[in-house]
Amino acid sequence: MNVLTPSPASSLKIFLAMAFVVVCWGYSPTGIHIGLQAYDPVHLALLRFLLASLFMAVVAVIRGIRLPNLRDMPLLMALGFFAVSLHHVAINVGQQGVSAGASSVLAQSTPLFSTLLARFVFKDRVSLWRWGCVILGLIGVVIVVAGDHGLDSIDTHGVLILLAALSWSLYFALQKHHTGRYDGLTLVCYTVWSGTALLLIFLPGLVDQVANAPLRVQFAVVALGIFPSALAYLAWAYVLAHVDLSRATMTLYLVPPVAMMIASVGLGEQPTLMVAVGAMVVLISVLALNLERRPVVQVARA
């Protein structure tokens, strides 16, 4: 991918879009924790993306998007499954036993899984440098999970957050290898809609939970549906249209510290020293992946 150099007039817009994405995705773990106070994980995911789908439908009508090719429907459904259905159900269930700050760090391990997919699925060559980054990152993941609630707390909740990160890796890999026929807005709309359609199997019981949820929780879920799940995706598509992917994703390393700050204010969470150390290890390993000079791995980095 060629590096895109924005004009001075658009540089401020790109910077603001990047900052908006970081804040929105930094809020997501806190919003999920608040939402789980009244919703079970699957209903929270469904309601969040019903709201996002409605918002994206309004945007699609205003901006206009073309209909998808029928031959692309299986691919679009797969994108929705990995980016929306599997990712958000796994992360919601996982956050029942993992703090918001630790969850944001574990979710940032997506590039590590992208490297593993590049080697074992797409059969790309992976350098020794990248293997070292993967090992270092996995060590950081263990430190974060252990430091969140103690060594005896390593259970399926942390594993599910990692499954969510793996799901994102699969989404980005499919997007990179097969979806050059659609612009960013069109692809985001169909990904959100298809993922929401798959979540409709959890529709029974949703109305009762909506009726009984406190107002504070309702506001948190509405914010989840509009900001991290819709507006942030649109802003990210705008950024990627003007900046090279490898450069743009550098800003996502700010998501975990922002998430920890938001969680400290909204939830009263105070990250332990082990979580902070593990977060640094994970982020350094992910950063090192993107600083390698040789473009060995050809999947998109999250």
Q: How far apart are CA 121 and CA 209, in angstroms?
A: 40
Which residue has better confidence, 21 or 177? 21
In the predicted structure, residue 296 carries a pLDDT above the cut 50: no
Nearest to 130 by CA among 111, 143, 144: 111
Confidence grade of residue 2 (pLDDT, cut at 50, 70, 90): very low
In the predicted structure, residue 5 carries a pLDDT above the cut 60: no
Which residue has better confidence, 149 or 14? 14
Q: What percent of the chain has pLDDT over 70?
A: 84
Which residue has better confidence, 287 or 262? 262
Q: How far apart are CA 167 and CA 188, in angstroms?
A: 16
In the predicted structure, residue 165 carries a pLDDT above the cut 50: yes
- In this predicted structure, which of 68-72, 195-199, 245-249 has the lowest mean pLDDT? 245-249
Confidence grade of residue 213 (pLDDT, cut at 50, 70, 90): very high
Which residue has better confidence, 169 or 24? 24
Handedness of CA 202, 203, 207, 208 (dihedral sign): negative
> How far is residue 104 from each of residues 147, 157, 162, measured CA to CA in Å?
14, 13, 11
- What is the Cα Rg of the chain in Å? 19
Residues 6+ apart with CB under 8 A from 293: none
Q: How far apart are CA 281 and CA 206, in angstroms?
A: 40
- 3-class DSSP assignment, residue 299: coil
> pLDDT by residue (tens digit) across 240-253?
777 765 566 667 77
In the predicted structure, residue 302 carries a pLDDT above the cut 70: no
- 3-class DSSP assignment, residue 111: helix
Nearest to 273 by CA among 151, 152, 148: 148
Q: How far apart are CA 117 and CA 111, in angstroms?
A: 10
**Mean pLDDT computed over 28-32:** 94
Confidence grade of residue 290 (pLDDT, cut at 50, 70, 90): low
In the prediction, which pLDDT does 52 show? Answer: 94
CB neighbours of residue 216 within 10 Å:
11
Residue 101: φ, ψ to 5°: -65, -45
In the prediction, which pLDDT does 272 show? Answer: 79
In the prediction, which pLDDT does 249 show? Answer: 64
Question: Which pTM was predicted?
Answer: 0.82
In the predicted structure, residue 8 carries a pLDDT above the cut 80: no
Place of tokens 């009263």: 268
Domain boundaries, the chain: 11-291
Q: How far apart are CA 211 and CA 295, in angstroms?
A: 52
Mean pLDDT value across the chain: 82
In the predicted structure, residue 3 carries a pLDDT above the cut 50: no
CB neighbours of residue 80 within 10 Å:
23
**Angle ∠(253,258,263) on CA atoms, nearest 5:** 135
Residues 6+ apart with CB under 8 A from 223: 27, 31
In the prediction, which pLDDT does 250 show? Answer: 64
